[in-house]
């Protein structure tokens, strides 16, 4: 073991003495009660030299300990004393008072800053609201749609006092206010009185005071086509059902759905009729003896097919053998545009139909003035004049039977003369006639019995223009306008050009006088006070005739 010289220990005593002095000073504040005798160190050091031999390894280890102690003492020096700093490091939860104050100050400054920012934002919102700021209507949609109404809904707008609902038809952008809602929580509106199968655009805005939000627009909302009415349904052929329905002039076609009793409607029990003028269908290959339910809907073609409301269900039992069918007129409905309190008359035309010439000219005039009339047609004339007959159906004229060939009068008229004409009219246009006029006006009980069996009422006339005799347009014109009264039934013929010319002058004149030009059925129902009875004959709206 090597020995250290006296010079080495002298240097060691000097360094160690200085270090102890510094440590004592740094801890004086917390250890004021302890006194240190620095002179005593020399004697102890001398004692160490005298009694112990230090080798280099012991000395190096002590010096490292001493240096680490010095470094800790230096780091711990501050105004509050080193021991407190060392204690805080040993126990991090015991925070220095100055540090606590600094953290508190930072937290306070941050809190105040957040409060100021929130206050500024609140002020901005308040200013925006105070000058009329209102949120835009979002998520505008149609939640329900029928043939004549649309139910709109949307999400509640911010800061709104209420909403305005506007509407435009077709491609027009001329929005008209439909409804004003003064409740900000009411976010739905029912728009009624719409036309069927028509495109509409809707616009909703939110308002606050006299301020209004941007418009929210919903374009190209098509109302549904109206539901057709099944006018006739029967089973006359083995395993087959036949049905007819009312035409919809806005439809692109029709969908026929059927199901067996206890079953469900499905794609495999659906027929499509793509011709909107073809309002009848045969459903084959059905189970005989079973009862089937049928319904019909019109549809519109476009980017997507829009199917309208379904008709009421009709049921029929399928026959096992072919069975003769008696023609049956469909139940009629009254034109809702007619005012029952205003004067009305029924113009009637015999001996048609006639394609081109007078037949088409009469229809042109009636269509121009939105007038209705009743046409009593000869069965043998129908087959080759299908276009004229179908046009009558489209214009909602009333179809009448004038026997098969106008060859028999009075007692000579047979049930077949009437039923053959009814069936031919049906075969061409899909509708049975709803009324009858006897050739020459000669009606018998046998004629009325057949009319009752087919569901037809019969009509005579209260004004005879004798157009077949005069063939003079002015004479026909004055025969009507000089004598016509409320509730009259006027007799004319559609096969004369002179009659067509008279109608061209007569119709606008009658309308200017306040007359409504209606069918015989609507005249009896609205002016006479009750629907006409099948098998009965009427002279005008108020008078019944017996054979």
pLDDT tens-digit map of 347-399: 999 999 988 899 999 999 999 999 999 999 999 999 899 999 999 999 999 99
Compare 93 and 187 and report the one with higher pLDDT. 187
CA distance 345 to 514: 11
- Lowest mean per-residue pLDDT among 234-238, 470-474, 516-520: 234-238
pLDDT at 51: 43
pLDDT at 12: 53
Compare 418 and 58 and report the one with higher pLDDT. 418
Exposed (0-12), middle (13-18) or buried (19+): which is 32, by Cβ within 10 Å?
A: exposed
344-545: CATH superfamily: Glycoside hydrolase/deacetylase (3.20.20.370)
Tokens representing 463? 């004004």
What's the pTM value of the predicted model, to 2 decimals?
0.57
Under the banding of pLDDT at 50, 70 and 90, the label for residue 458 is very high
**Topology classification of domain 138-222:** Immunoglobulin-like (2.60.40)
pLDDT at 34: 42
Residue 72, beta-bridge partner list: none
Marked catalytic residue, from 493, 501, 521, 522: 493
CA distance 128 to 117: 17
CA distance 524 to 540: 8
Residue 97 has pLDDT above 80, yes or no: no
Marked catalytic residue, from 244, 350, 417, 467: 350
- Lowest mean per-residue pLDDT among 12-16, 273-277, 431-435, 471-475: 12-16
Neighbouring C-beta atoms of residue 487, cutoff 10 Å: 19
Nearest CA-CA partner of 461 in 429, 484, 494 = 484
CA distance 66 to 324: 130
Q: What is the CATH number of domain 230-317?
A: 2.60.40.10
pLDDT at 68: 64
The DSSP secondary structure of 116-153, one letter per residue, reads: HHHHHHHHHHHHHHHTT--PPPEEEEEEEE-SS-EEEE
pLDDT at 323: 86
Portion of the chain with pLDDT greater than 70, in percent: 79
Under the banding of pLDDT at 50, 70 and 90, the label for residue 80 is very low
Residue found by looking up tokens 């003369």 in the block: 417
Domains 230-317 and 344-545 share a fold: no
Neighbouring C-beta atoms of residue 274, cutoff 10 Å: 10
Tokens representing 494? 């559609």
- Lowest mean per-residue pLDDT among 38-47, 121-130, 258-267, 440-449: 38-47
Portion of the chain with pLDDT greater than 90, in percent: 66
Tokens representing 35? 């006194």
Burial 82-108 (b: 16+ CB within 10 A, else e): bebbeebeeeeeeeeeeeeeeeeeeee
CA distance 174 to 166: 9
Active site residue 493: yes
Burial 497-515 (b: 16+ CB within 10 A, else e): ebbbbbbbbbbeebeeeeb
pLDDT tens-digit series, residues 167-221 = 999 888 889 999 999 999 999 999 999 999 999 999 999 999 889 999 999 999 9
CA distance 33 to 205: 85
Under the banding of pLDDT at 50, 70 and 90, the label for residue 232 is confident
Angle between helices 497-512 and 357-368 (to 10 degrees): 10
Q: Provide the mean pLDDT of the chain.
A: 85
CA distance 438 to 409: 7
Exposed (0-12), middle (13-18) or buried (19+): which is 538, by Cβ within 10 Å?
A: buried
Residue 402 has pLDDT above 90, yes or no: yes
Residue 336 has pLDDT above 80, yes or no: yes
Residue 496 has pLDDT above 50, yes or no: yes
- Lowest mean per-residue pLDDT among 99-113, 195-209, 243-257, 458-472: 99-113
Section 310-315 average pLDDT? 95
Say what the alpha-carbon torsion angle 271, 275, 281, 282 is, to the nearest 10 degrees. -70
Nearest CA-CA partner of 193 in 176, 172, 217 = 176
CA distance 326 to 335: 27
Write down the domain spans for the chain. 6-90, 138-222, 230-317, 344-545
Section 397-407 average pLDDT? 97
pLDDT at 32: 41
pLDDT at 35: 44
Compare 198 and 26 and report the one with higher pLDDT. 198
Measured CA to CA in angstroms, residue 4 lies from 10, 61, 106, 176, 279 at distances of: 11, 15, 57, 113, 130
pLDDT at 33: 39
Active site residue 350: yes
pLDDT at 171: 83
Under the banding of pLDDT at 50, 70 and 90, the label for residue 244 is confident
């Amino acid at each position: 073991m090597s020995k250290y010289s006296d010079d080495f220990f002298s240097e060691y005593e000097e360094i160690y003495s200085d270090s102890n002095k510094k440590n004592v000073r740094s801890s004086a504040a917390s250890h004021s009660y302890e006194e240190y005798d620095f002179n005593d160190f020399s004697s102890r050091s001398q004692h160490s030299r005298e009694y112990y031999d230090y080798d280099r390894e012991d000395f190096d280890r002590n010096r490292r300990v001493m240096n680490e102690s010095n470094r800790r003492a230096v780091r711990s020096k501050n105004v509050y004393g080193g021991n407190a700093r060392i204690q805080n490091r040993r126990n991090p939860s015991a925070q220095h008072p100055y540090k606590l104050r600094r953290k508190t100050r930072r937290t306070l400054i941050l809190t105040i800053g957040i409060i100021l920012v929130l206050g500024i934002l609140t002020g901005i919102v308040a200013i925006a609201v105070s000058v009329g700021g209102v949120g835009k209507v979002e998520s505008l949609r149609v939640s329900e749609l029928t043939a004549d109404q649309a139910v709109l809904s949307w999400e509640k707008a911010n800061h709104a006092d209420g909403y305005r609902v506007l509407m435009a038809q077709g491609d027009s952008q001329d929005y008209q206010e439909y409804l004003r809602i003064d409740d900000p929580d009411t976010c739905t509106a029912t728009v009624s009185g719409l036309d069927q199968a028509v495109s509409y655009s809707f616009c909703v805005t939110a308002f606050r005071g006299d301020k209004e939000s941007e418009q929210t627009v919903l374009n190209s909302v098509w109302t549904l086509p109206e539901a057709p009415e099944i006018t006739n349904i029967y089973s006359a052929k083995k395993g087959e059902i036949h049905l007819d329905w009312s035409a919809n002039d806005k439809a692109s076609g029709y969908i026929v759905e059927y199901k067996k009793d206890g079953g469900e409607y499905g794609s495999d029990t659906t027929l499509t009729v793509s011709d909107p003028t073809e309002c009848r269908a045969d459903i084959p290959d059905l189970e005989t003896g079973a009862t089937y339910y049928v319904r019909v809907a019109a549809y519109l073609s476009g980017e997507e097919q829009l199917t309208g409301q379904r008709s009421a269900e009709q049921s029929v039992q399928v026959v096992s053998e072919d069975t003769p069918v008696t023609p049956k007129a469909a139940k009629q409905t009254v034109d809702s545009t007619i005012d029952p309190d205003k004067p009305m008359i029924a113009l009637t035309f015999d001996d048609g139909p006639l394609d081109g010439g007078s037949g088409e000219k009469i229809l042109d005039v009636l269509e121009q003035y939105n007038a209705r009339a009743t046409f009593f047609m000869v069965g043998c004339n129908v087959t080759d004049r299908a276009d004229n007959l179908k046009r009558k159906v489209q214009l909602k004229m009333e179809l009448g039977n004038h026997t098969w060939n106008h060859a028999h009068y009075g007692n000579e008229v047979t049930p077949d003369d009437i039923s053959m004409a009814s069936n031919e009219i049906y075969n061409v246009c899909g509708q049975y006639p709803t009324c009858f006029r006897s050739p020459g006006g000669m009606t018998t009980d046998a004629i009325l019995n057949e009319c009752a069996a087919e569901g037809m009422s019969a009509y005579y006339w209260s004004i005879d223009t004798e157009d077949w005799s005069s063939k003079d347009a002015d004479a026909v014109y004055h025969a009507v306008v000089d004598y016509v009264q409320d509730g009259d039934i006027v007799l004319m013929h559609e096969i004369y050009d002179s009659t067509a010319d008279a109608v061209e002058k007569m119709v606008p004149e009658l309308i200017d006088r306040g007359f409504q030009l209606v069918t015989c059925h609507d005249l009896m129902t609205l002016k006479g006070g009750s629907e006409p009875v099948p098998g009965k004959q009427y002279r005008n709206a108020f008078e019944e005739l017996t054979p």
